[in-house]
Amino acid sequence: MAAINHKTLREDEFFFGHKACAGCGASLVLRHVLKILGPNAVSVLPAGCMSAVGFNFPNLAFQNNSMISPFAATAPVMSGIRAGFDMRKKRGDKIPDDFCVVGFAGDGATADIGLAALSGAIDRDDNLLYICYDNEAYMNTGVQKSSLTPFGAKTTNTPVGTQIQGALSNKKNMFEIVAAHNISYAATASIGYLPDFLKKVAKAKDMPGTRYIHVIAPCPTGWGHADKDTINFAKAIVDCGLWYLAEYEAGDYKISRRPKEFGSIKDYLHSQSRFRALDDAAIAHIEAERDAKWAYIDTHWS
Ligand SMILES: Cc1ncc(C[n+]2csc(CCOP(=O)(O)OP(=O)(O)O)c2C)c(N)n1
Ligand code: SF4
Ligand SMILES: [Mg+2]
């Protein structure tokens, strides 16, 4: 496999002219993944920001074949497309060698409403590449909490007031839930560490079975940061240890990047309006959870 970097990445664009907000992290996920997969990838997108900004009749922002699935059904729609093409191939139709089915689903579509359907596809080991772009809330409907919204984040249904201060629950660990299926390949990534993300996509592209990549994609609108700072936040969440870059393959977890020293969680949180109300006790709680997680990773993962 040729190394993927800014020099080897193809110049063709497959996702452009969309209506995402300035600084949208998720749109960068689609743009870069499709540059790796190329024109013969078929994309499936459930309801969410990326389908809302990418399919504006009569302007389709995709150059490759793409369709919207029901909110809950990203994975089964992908499985159906794959089965249809496999059948055509058996009948002797010419199918390009680099044909693949890719899903781009948000955190809500993946970790909440689409979780059972995704689990079924992994159980069947269907041949598909599922990308969860995680902006940590239901953004397209105006910033509601999903099960991937982190503790303390302000959303429209986890407000900051006298009774509660933002989300009360912790972010669900989708990567480890998927890995627990003993999936062929799973990885985490961040658009702040693009070469690592692209390398994982290129690797997953050529693998059989179900592949899952979970990528952090900041949303200036929902997180409350300047649009020019999207990449900085996508880096900072990794550097302060609140998001880890890892792979799961052949039954093993492997860390892709271990920060030598963690960046400041307080700086990361307080520079976004969704976390601004968090007090020192809440931040100390988040730090303690981070340290416990990394203590486990350092002891058990390679
Ligand atoms: C069955 C169903 N329930 C609710 C909706 C409304 N809806 C459309 S997009 C969306 C939010 C999606 O959130 P997420 O998957 O995180 O993607 P994002 O918008 O953040 O990109 C919701 C709730 C829907 N389209 N279909
Ligand atoms: S609301 Fe967020 S995820 Fe949706 S298009 Fe705007 S920046 Fe992107
Ligand atoms: Mg979302």
Ligand 2: nearest atom to the Cα of 133: 3
Please indicate, yes or no, if residue 256 is contained in any of the structural domains: yes
Please indicate, yes or no, if residue 116 is contained in any of the structural domains: yes
Which of 134, 221, 229 gets mutated to test ligand 2 (max ligand atoms within 8 A of its CB)? 221
Please indicate, yes or no, if residue 12 is contained in any of the structural domains: no
Confidence of residue 200 (pLDDT cuts 50, 70, 90): very high
pTM for the complete prediction? 0.98
Torsions phi, psi for 144 (to 5 deg)? -105, 160
Please indicate, yes or no, if residue 249 is contained in any of the structural domains: yes
Residue 124: C-alpha distances to residues 62, 90, 119, 140, 282 (Å): 29, 20, 9, 31, 41
Please indicate, yes or no, if residue 209 is contained in any of the structural domains: yes
**Residue found by looking up tokens 């070469």 in the block:** 195
Which of 15, 45, 49, 229 gets mutated to test ligand 2 (max ligand atoms within 8 A of its CB)? 49
Domain span holding position 96: 25-300
For residues 80 and 199, give the distance between their C-alpha atoms in angstroms, rounded to a whole number: 27
Per-residue pLDDT reduced to its tens digit, 68-82: 999 999 999 999 999
pLDDT at 265 > cutoff 80 = yes
* Number of domains composing the chain: 1
Question: What separation in Å is there between the alpha carbon of 75 and the centre of ligand 2?
Answer: 22
CA-closest candidate to residue 108, choices 49, 157, 56:
49
Question: What separation in Å is there between the alpha carbon of 188 and the centre of ligand 1?
Answer: 22
Per-residue pLDDT reduced to its tens digit, 98-110: 999 999 999 999 9
* Ligand minimally distant from the alpha carbon of residue 25: 2
For residues 115 and 181, give the distance between their C-alpha atoms in angstroms, rounded to a whole number: 12
Please indicate, yes or no, if residue 4 is contained in any of the structural domains: no
Please indicate, yes or no, if residue 3 is contained in any of the structural domains: no
> Residue 204: which CATH number?
3.40.50.970
- The helix/strand/coil state of 21 is coil
R_g (Cα) of the chain, nearest Å: 19
Per-residue pLDDT reduced to its tens digit, 92-149: 999 999 999 999 999 999 999 999 999 999 999 999 999 999 999 999 999 999 999 9
Please indicate, yes or no, if residue 10 is contained in any of the structural domains: no
